[in-house]
Protein backbone atom coordinates (compact mmCIF):
# COMPACT_ATOMS: atom_id res chain seq x y z
CA UNK A 1 0.00 0.00 0.00
CA UNK A 2 1.45 3.36 -0.98
CA UNK A 3 1.17 6.17 1.51
CA UNK A 4 -0.51 9.40 0.46
CA UNK A 5 -0.86 12.80 2.06
CA UNK A 6 -4.13 13.39 3.88
CA UNK A 7 -5.91 16.73 3.85
CA UNK A 8 -9.26 17.07 5.57
CA UNK A 9 -11.22 20.32 5.27
CA UNK A 10 -13.56 21.18 8.14
CA UNK A 11 -16.62 20.73 5.94
CA UNK A 12 -15.39 17.31 4.73
CA UNK A 13 -15.48 15.58 8.11
CA UNK A 14 -17.88 12.69 8.45
CA UNK A 15 -20.67 13.03 10.99
CA UNK A 16 -19.49 12.26 14.52
CA UNK A 17 -19.93 8.72 15.78
CA UNK A 18 -22.04 8.47 18.94
CA UNK A 19 -20.11 6.27 21.33
CA UNK A 20 -21.80 5.88 24.72
CA UNK A 21 -22.27 9.59 25.36
CA UNK A 22 -19.16 10.84 23.51
CA UNK A 23 -19.22 12.29 19.98
CA UNK A 24 -16.18 11.03 18.08
CA UNK A 25 -15.16 12.45 14.72
CA UNK A 26 -12.61 10.29 12.90
CA UNK A 27 -10.01 12.64 11.40
CA UNK A 28 -7.59 9.91 10.24
CA UNK A 29 -7.90 6.14 10.52
CA UNK A 30 -5.13 3.54 10.51
CA UNK A 31 -6.23 2.57 7.01
CA UNK A 32 -5.54 6.13 5.85
CA UNK A 33 -2.23 6.72 7.65
CA UNK A 34 -0.80 3.22 7.56
CA UNK A 35 0.02 3.47 11.28
CA UNK A 36 -1.77 5.76 13.77
CA UNK A 37 -5.27 7.21 14.18
CA UNK A 38 -6.55 10.68 15.11
CA UNK A 39 -10.02 11.51 16.43
CA UNK A 40 -11.79 14.54 17.85
CA UNK A 41 -13.72 13.56 20.97
CA UNK A 42 -16.36 15.80 22.55
CA UNK A 43 -18.62 15.05 25.46
CA UNK A 44 -20.73 16.38 28.29
CA UNK A 45 -19.62 16.43 31.89
CA UNK A 46 -19.03 12.91 33.21
CA UNK A 47 -18.87 11.18 29.82
CA UNK A 48 -15.93 8.88 29.17
CA UNK A 49 -14.77 5.27 29.33
CA UNK A 50 -14.14 3.17 32.44
CA UNK A 51 -10.58 2.10 33.36
CA UNK A 52 -9.23 0.01 30.50
CA UNK A 53 -6.06 -0.90 28.62
CA UNK A 54 -5.06 -1.86 25.09
CA UNK A 55 -2.00 -2.74 23.07
CA UNK A 56 -1.40 0.69 21.52
CA UNK A 57 -0.11 4.00 22.84
CA UNK A 58 -2.68 6.76 23.19
CA UNK A 59 -2.26 10.50 23.62
CA UNK A 60 -4.78 13.22 24.37
CA UNK A 61 -4.53 16.95 23.67
CA UNK A 62 -7.25 18.89 25.51
CA UNK A 63 -8.82 21.55 23.28
CA UNK A 64 -11.66 22.81 25.46
CA UNK A 65 -12.83 22.37 29.03
CA UNK A 66 -11.32 19.88 31.41
CA UNK A 67 -10.59 16.18 31.11
CA UNK A 68 -10.05 14.23 34.33
CA UNK A 69 -7.92 11.15 33.71
CA UNK A 70 -6.77 8.20 35.72
CA UNK A 71 -3.43 6.87 34.43
CA UNK A 72 -1.97 3.78 36.10
CA UNK A 73 -3.96 4.58 39.23
CA UNK A 74 -2.84 8.23 39.38
CA UNK A 75 -5.25 11.14 38.82
CA UNK A 76 -4.27 13.55 36.04
CA UNK A 77 -6.24 16.72 35.32
CA UNK A 78 -6.02 18.07 31.79
CA UNK A 79 -7.07 21.65 31.09
CA UNK A 80 -7.23 23.19 27.61
CA UNK A 81 -3.71 23.03 26.18
CA UNK A 82 -2.68 19.98 28.22
CA UNK A 83 -1.11 16.90 26.60
CA UNK A 84 -1.38 13.46 28.21
CA UNK A 85 0.44 10.39 26.87
CA UNK A 86 -0.56 6.86 27.91
CA UNK A 87 1.83 4.01 26.94
CA UNK A 88 0.42 0.77 25.53
CA UNK A 89 -0.81 -1.64 28.21
CA UNK A 90 -1.37 1.09 30.84
CA UNK A 91 -4.74 1.08 32.62
CA UNK A 92 -6.37 4.45 32.08
CA UNK A 93 -9.74 6.23 31.98
CA UNK A 94 -11.07 9.73 31.44
CA UNK A 95 -14.16 11.81 32.06
CA UNK A 96 -15.01 15.21 30.72
CA UNK A 97 -15.15 17.80 33.51
CA UNK A 98 -17.71 20.49 34.38
CA UNK A 99 -19.39 21.91 31.29
CA UNK A 100 -18.01 19.12 29.11
CA UNK A 101 -14.98 19.31 26.87
CA UNK A 102 -13.17 18.39 23.69
CA UNK A 103 -9.85 16.74 22.94
CA UNK A 104 -7.82 15.25 20.16
CA UNK A 105 -6.99 11.58 20.63
CA UNK A 106 -3.95 10.16 18.85
CA UNK A 107 -3.88 6.37 18.89
CA UNK A 108 -0.52 4.78 18.10
CA UNK A 109 0.73 2.08 15.75
CA UNK A 110 -1.62 -0.89 15.47
CA UNK A 111 -4.60 0.87 17.04
CA UNK A 112 -8.09 -0.54 16.53
CA UNK A 113 -9.82 2.48 18.09
CA UNK A 114 -11.63 3.86 15.05
CA UNK A 115 -12.94 0.42 14.02
CA UNK A 116 -14.15 -0.10 17.60
CA UNK A 117 -15.81 3.34 17.70
CA UNK A 118 -17.62 2.61 14.41
CA UNK A 119 -18.87 -0.74 15.73
CA UNK A 120 -20.08 0.82 19.01
CA UNK A 121 -21.87 3.58 17.06
CA UNK A 122 -23.59 0.98 14.84
CA UNK A 123 -24.59 -1.50 17.53
CA UNK A 124 -25.11 0.46 20.77
CA UNK A 125 -28.00 2.96 20.53
CA UNK A 126 -28.26 6.07 22.74
CA UNK A 127 -29.52 5.44 26.25
CA UNK A 128 -28.46 2.87 28.79
CA UNK A 129 -25.98 0.60 27.00
CA UNK A 130 -26.20 -3.18 26.68
CA UNK A 131 -23.06 -3.78 28.78
CA UNK A 132 -22.42 -7.41 27.74
CA UNK A 133 -22.58 -6.34 24.09
CA UNK A 134 -20.27 -3.37 24.77
CA UNK A 135 -17.79 -5.69 26.51
CA UNK A 136 -17.84 -8.08 23.52
CA UNK A 137 -17.10 -5.22 21.10
CA UNK A 138 -14.26 -3.91 23.27
CA UNK A 139 -12.72 -7.38 23.61
CA UNK A 140 -13.02 -7.98 19.84
CA UNK A 141 -10.94 -4.81 19.30
CA UNK A 142 -8.20 -5.60 21.84
CA UNK A 143 -9.49 -3.55 24.79
CA UNK A 144 -9.54 -4.97 28.32
CA UNK A 145 -11.73 -3.29 30.93
CA UNK A 146 -10.05 -3.21 34.34
CA UNK A 147 -11.90 -4.94 37.18
| pLDDT tens figures, 4-20 | 787 877 777 788 999 99
pTM above 0.85, yes or no: yes
Rounded to an integer, the average pLDDT of 65-85 is 96
Q: Which residues of 60-69 are buried (b: 16+ CB within 10 A; e: fewer)?
A: bbbbebbbbb
How would residue 2 be classed by pLDDT, with cut points 50, 70 and 90? Answer: low
For the chain, domains (ranges, CATH) are 10-145 (2.60.120.10)
Q: Are 104 and 40 in contact (CB under 8 A)?
A: yes
Give every CB contact of residue 5 below 8 A, 6+ residues apart in sequence: none
| pLDDT tens figures, 87-129 | 999 999 999 999 999 999 999 999 999 999 999 999 999 989 9
Amino acid sequence: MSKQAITLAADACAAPLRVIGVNITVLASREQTGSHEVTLQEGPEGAGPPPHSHGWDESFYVLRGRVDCLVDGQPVRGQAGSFIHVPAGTVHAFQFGPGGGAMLEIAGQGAAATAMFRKLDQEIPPGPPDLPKVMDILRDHGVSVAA
